């Protein structure tokens, strides 16, 4: 690729601190050999280390008052990620990968720029329909702004039909014939694929499945929880996971 590719993330509110952004940038630096820009869109740049090569920009204004004014509903269930489809998306052009903050990269991610497709995403593990998990998705910067227009003009209808941002984005792109998934096994769920099953959680440590590139942490535990063996749920036991500490830095 002649022009740099883009890695973007979004941080808002207090759920994740700036340390998550800094760690994500460090992981990308180790695991992406392609020339690239790393941009964090945020409502609070405090603590984000631009010396690491992070470009800090404000969350894009999209002409939708609920989002531009950060109405409470827009900050839940991932909805502000829809601003990544602004056209233009700042001055970004070309292939762009969005990464959630609560992931752990464990192998090269160069391959995520190789498969063709207008929108690549994780196949949601817990759904039998076309829903994708938007912890990791790729698109062309400036594409899919029609999703923003749809949300602007049909907010009430949209919110009746879907539970969250990833259902809204991926089901609409599926209807348009623009949705493709990452090869199975590239992106894995910590809870579904790394954790031992049942009672073995008390005796065995979580492991990285063969071929995994990115480990997704959805719900509890977060990466910092799993490092020390804190599950966040009474019914789940997590032994401390050294490989997270080795990679999440």
Question: Any idea what the CATH number is for the domain that residue 125 is in?
Answer: 3.90.550.10
pLDDT per residue over 69-97, tens digit each? 999 999 999 999 999 999 999 999 999 99
Whether 16 and 104 map to the same domain: the answer is: yes
Range of the domain at 236: 187-247
Sign of the torsion angle spanned by Cα atoms 55, 58, 59, 64: negative
Whether 165 and 207 map to the same domain: the answer is: no
Mean pLDDT of the chain: 96
Whether 71 and 176 map to the same domain: the answer is: yes
The number of beta carbons lying within 10 Å of the beta carbon of residue 40 is: 24
Radius of gyration over every alpha carbon of the chain, rounded to an integer in angstroms: 18
pLDDT at 1 over 60: no
Whether 198 and 177 map to the same domain: the answer is: no
Q: In total, how many domains does the chain have?
A: 2
Structure tokens at 16: 């994740």
pLDDT per residue over 217-248, tens digit each? 998 999 999 999 999 888 889 999 999 999 99
If one compares 154 and 3, the residue with the highest pLDDT of the two is 154
Whether 106 and 202 map to the same domain: the answer is: no
pLDDT per residue over 23-47, tens digit each? 999 999 999 999 999 999 999 999 9
Phi, psi of 90, rounded to the nearest 5 degrees:
55, -130
Model pTM?
0.96
- 159, 181, 203 - which closes a domain: 181
Whether 33 and 125 map to the same domain: the answer is: yes
DSSP state of 108: -
């Amino acid at each position: 690729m002649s022009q740099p590719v883009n890695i973007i993330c979004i941080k808002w509110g207090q759920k994740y601190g700036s340390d998550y952004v800094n760690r994500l940038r460090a992981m990308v630096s180790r695991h992406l050999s392609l020339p690239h820009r790393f941009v964090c869109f945020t409502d609070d740049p405090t603590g984000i280390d631009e010396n690491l090569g992070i470009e800090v920009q404000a969350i894009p204004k999209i002409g939708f008052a609920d989002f531009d004014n950060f109405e409470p509903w827009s900050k839940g269930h991932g909805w502000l990620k829809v601003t990544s489809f602004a056209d233009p998306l700042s001055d970004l052009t070309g292939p762009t990968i969005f990464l959630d903050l609560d992931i752990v990269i464990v192998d090269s991610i160069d391959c995520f720029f190789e498969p063709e497709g207008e929108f690549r995403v994780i196949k949601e593990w817990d759904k039998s329909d076309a829903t994708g998990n938007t912890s990791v998705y790729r698109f062309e910067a400036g594409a899919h702004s029609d999703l923003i227009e749809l949300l602007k003009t049909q907010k009430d209808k949209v919110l009746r039909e879907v539970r969250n941002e990833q259902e809204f984005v991926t089901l609409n792109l599926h209807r348009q014939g623009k949705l493709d998934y990452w090869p199975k096994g590239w992106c894995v769920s910590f809870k579904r694929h790394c954790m031992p099953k049942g009672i073995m959680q008390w005796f065995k440590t979580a492991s990285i499945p063969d071929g995994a590139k990115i480990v997704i942490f959805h719900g509890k535990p977060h990466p910092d929880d799993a490092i020390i063996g804190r599950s966040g749920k009474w019914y789940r036991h997590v032994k401390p996971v050294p490989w997270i500490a080795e990679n999440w830095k």
